[in-house]
Amino acid sequence: MGVPVKNRRWGLLVAAVLAVTVPAVMAPAVMGVAQEKKDDRQDHKDGAPKAGPDAAKPDAPRRVTVDRSGTFNGKRIDYTVSAGETYLRDDKGEPVASIFAVAYTKKGTNPATRPVTFLYNGGPGSASLWLHMGVFGPKRVQIPADAENPGPPPFPLVDNAYSILDVTDLVFIDPVATGYSRAIGKGEEKDFLGVREDAKSIAQFVRVWLGDNKRWNSPKFLGGESYGGIRTGAMLPELSGTTSTVSLNGIILISPAMDYTSLTFARGNLVPYWSFLPSYAATAWYHKKVADTSMGFDRFLADARQFAATEYASALILGNRLPPDQHKAVVAKLAHFTGLSPAFIEQSHLKIQDHRFMKELLRDQGKSIGRIDGRYLGDDYDASGDRPDNDPSLNGMSGAFSAVVNTYFRNDLGLDMGGREYKVLGSLYRRWNYAQVDGGGGEPYRGTDVGPFVGDAMRQNKGMRAFVAMGYYDLATPFFHTENSFNDAGVPTNRVSFNYYPGGHMMYVQPQAIEKMTQDIRKFIVAGSPAQN
C-alpha cells in the first residue's frame, strides 16, 4: 500500500495494505535449519517441529510445514501451510536473495486444474500481512466496525470464514527488505529496490515456486494491493519475457496505484486535483457535508466524475484564462461536491491538495480525517495547521496486524527465524528507483504508469481478465485515478471487472465489505479457471 510523497508521514500503508515502510536493515545470511512440522487439524498434537532433510546444511533456507483444516465459504478444507524462505539465484547459480512466503495448498486436488493466486501488498516497503491476515488467509485479525480505532492489545485472531482457499491455493509473498525477506550472498539490497528490480525478483520467485511445486500448468492469478498494482503491472512484461513465459488467467488489484502522475501533488501537475475529486465527494457525503443529497449517492458520484473530467479539468488547464463567470461556477460546484467553503476554494486557486482536504473538511468540528480511510476521525494537537498530525485511519491498525502476524507465525505455525524481526512497514520509497520500467523494444520508460503493460498483456492473452476493487473513501489511491488508468491504456475493459465497496484503502477490514468482496473475487477466480476442482 503505498505511494511516494514528499512528507514521510503520508507514506501509504497498503495496505493498503496498506503499504507504508520501515527502514530496512541488512541482516547476515541465514545459517538456518529447515523445519517441518505436521499435525492433525488445528492443534499441535505432535509437539515441537521436526527437523527436515536439509537440517544438516548450514545455509539451508528456514521453513516450517504444518497441516490444517478450516471452513471457508461453508466448505471444510484440509490444507497444508508451508512458510519459509526461497532463495533466488543469479546466472551463476549463487543465491542473491531470500524471499519469505507463506503458501496454503488444498489437499487432494489436481494441480493441473487447481488455481493458485500469488498475493503481495505495496509500499514500496510493506510485507504481505495486510492481505494475509486481513482478508484472504485462513486466519484474520478482527478490526472494529464503523471506522473505529482498534485500541490496545490483545487483538482477536479469528478463523476466517471469508478466505478464498476453497477455490484457489494462496501464496503470500514478502519482497526483499520486507517481512523476513532480504538480500543474501553477493546480492545487495539496492539491487531489488526499484520498479523493475522488484518486479524481476518477484517474477523470478513465481517461476521458482511453480517449478518447485510442479504447478506450471495450473490456472494462475496475481493479486496486489496499493503499490501492488504498480508491481503487478511491472511484472507482466517480466513474466512474458524471453525465458519461461508465465501465462496468467487473471490479475486482482485492490486499491491499486497505477499511475503516479495522477497521485502525486507536485507543482505543475494538475492531474491529481481532478483525479481525487470524486473521492473527496464520497467522503464529504459520508460526513454529511453535502448540502443537497436529493439525487442519491450513486448519482452524486456520477456527477462528480463528470464534473471532474470536464469543467474542472478544463478550468485547471485554463488557469488565469478562465472567464470570471466560469470561475465562479466552478467554485460553486467544487463547494457542492467537496463540502468545503467557497472562500477556502478561492484561496486555494481551485487546487485542493489531499492533506488540506483532510484537515479542512471537519475543521469546524475540531477534527481531521484519515488518508487511508476518510471515514476515520483524528484529534490533532494543532487545530490550526494545514494538514493532520497523523493518519487516524492508520493509528492502531499497524499495531494490530503486527501483533497477530507475529503471534501466528511463532505460536501457531511454530516458525523459528533465529530471532530475526518481521519487518511490517518501511520507508523504502525514499530509496526506490522509479525510472526503470521497460517501455517496449528494450527501451527504458521514465515513468510509473503501468496501465499500458496491463493493456499489452490482456491484448496478447485473450483469456486474461482483471478484477479491480476500490473503496469509496480511499484518499490514498482514489477510485477515479484507477478508472482512468484502465480506460486510457489500451486495456480491453470488457474483460475488466470494476468493484466498489463502502470503505477505504483496506475496505476489507469492515464487515459490510469483506463478505461481498471475497464473494466477488471467488466468482472471478472460478469464472477464470476452467475445469477447476
Instruction: Write out pLDDT tens, residues 163-175.
Output: 999 999 999 999 9
Judge if 387 and 274 occupy the same domain. Answer: yes
- Cell of residue 338, nine digits: 467537496
Residue 53 predicted with pLDDT over 60: no
**Range(s) of the domain holding residue 210:** 63-261+398-528
Domain boundary among 364, 391, 418: 391
Domain boundary among 391, 413, 439: 391
Q: Is 261 exposed, middle or buried (0-12, 13-18, 19+ CB in 10 A)?
A: middle
Q: Which of 85-99, 139-153, 462-476 is predicted least confidently?
A: 139-153
Rounding to the nearest 10 degrees, give the CA dihedral for residues 213, 214, 220, 222: 30
Residue 43 predicted with pLDDT over 50: no
Residue with cell 494462475: 220
Which stretches within 183-226 are classed as H helix? 195-212
Residue 10 predicted with pLDDT over 60: no
Mean pLDDT of 296-308: 98
Tell me the per-residue pLDDT of 384-420, one tens digit each, with 9 for 90 and over. 899 999 999 887 788 899 999 999 999 999 999 999 9
Residues 6+ apart with CB under 8 A from 183: 26, 96, 97, 98, 176, 177, 189, 191, 192
Judge if 253 and 287 occupy the same domain. Answer: no
Contact 397, 18 (CB under 8 A): yes
Residue 22: inside a domain: no
pTM above 0.75, yes or no: yes
CATH of the domain at 160: 3.40.50.1820
pLDDT of residue 143: 85
Judge if 193 and 333 occupy the same domain. Answer: no
Mean pLDDT, the chain, as a whole number? 87
- Cell of residue 481, nine digits: 485515478
Mean pLDDT of 314-343: 97
Contact 260, 434 (CB under 8 A): yes
Number of domains in the chain: 2
Residues 6+ apart with CB under 8 A from 76: 69, 70
The band of 443, judged by pLDDT with boundaries at 50, 70 and 90, is: low
Domain boundary among 359, 391, 423: 391
Residues 6+ apart with CB under 8 A from 22: 125, 423, 424, 425, 426, 427
